[in-house]
Amino acid sequence: MLLSNHMSALAELCREIENCQGCGLASSRTRVVPGEGAEDADLFFIGEAPGWYEDQQGRPFVGPAGQFLSQLLALIGLRREQVYISNVIKCRPPQNRDPLPAEIEACCGWLDRQLEIIRPRMIITLGRYSLARYFPNESIGKVHGKARKVGDVIFFPMYHPAAALHQGSLRSIIEEDMRKIPLTLAQSEEVAEIVPEPRQLNLFQVELHEDE
């Protein structure tokens, strides 16, 4: 019964996101891309923003970067349907430009609510924008593949899959980081726990609260 409640809550949330008029991207999008995957996923992948393919289909990570993400999941024996995949913002910026701070701010509540419903054990940030949401002073080049824990949730930064399409040398690095995920999850008790700075606490409130 609990699972069905989660499923219905997530489906309702996706319908709300699809009707969002919270920023200027609402006027230029073709389709909203809320996210997709398992409602009880242990792993929650957060990218940057939808691209052209995603904007056409209303689904996250369906272009070339998404194909690589599917290959990465296969490396650890998983399919897309077994994880949850979303982005920091839910609508495509024109010409795939970087999301603006106001757009990220307008969209942040949707991601918070997705996390509250799914309550993953591990959040994998893909690229610098999702990393900056939680750890704004970190560099992806320095922290990729290094897990840290806030409350009971593991945060695991990775390069965005698209980075390997532009810089082939990153492919093996991304694959190596991906292979760390199962063992990191299995040995979660050994992951170093950090205390967020006061200004970050609101970002982690879903992770820090106790199970009801």
Q: What is the 3-state secondary structure (H, E, C) of 92-131?
A: CCHHHCCCCHHHHHHHHHHHHHHHHHHCCCEEEEECHHHH
Given this model, what pLDDT does residue 1 score? Answer: 39
- Global confidence as pTM: 0.90
Strands 84-87 and 36-37 come out as antiparallel
Q: Any alpha helices (H) in the chain, and if so which ranges?
A: 2-18, 52-57, 64-75, 101-118, 128-134, 140-143, 161-166, 170-186, 205-208
Residues 3, 7: Cα–Cα separation, whole Å: 6
Given this model, what pLDDT does residue 199 score? Answer: 58
Given this model, what pLDDT does residue 198 score? Answer: 59
**Domain spans of the chain?**
2-200
Q: Residue 122: which of 177, 51, 50 has the closest Cα?
A: 177
- State which residues of the chain have pLDDT below 50: 1-4, 7, 207-212
Given this model, what pLDDT does residue 195 score? Answer: 79
Helix, strand or coil, per DSSP, at residue 42:
coil
- What fold, for 2-200? Uracil-DNA Glycosylase, subunit E (3.40.470)
How would you list the strands of the sheet with 84-87, edge to edge? 36-37, 84-87, 43-47, 122-126, 153-158, 148-150
Given this model, what pLDDT does residue 205 score? Answer: 59
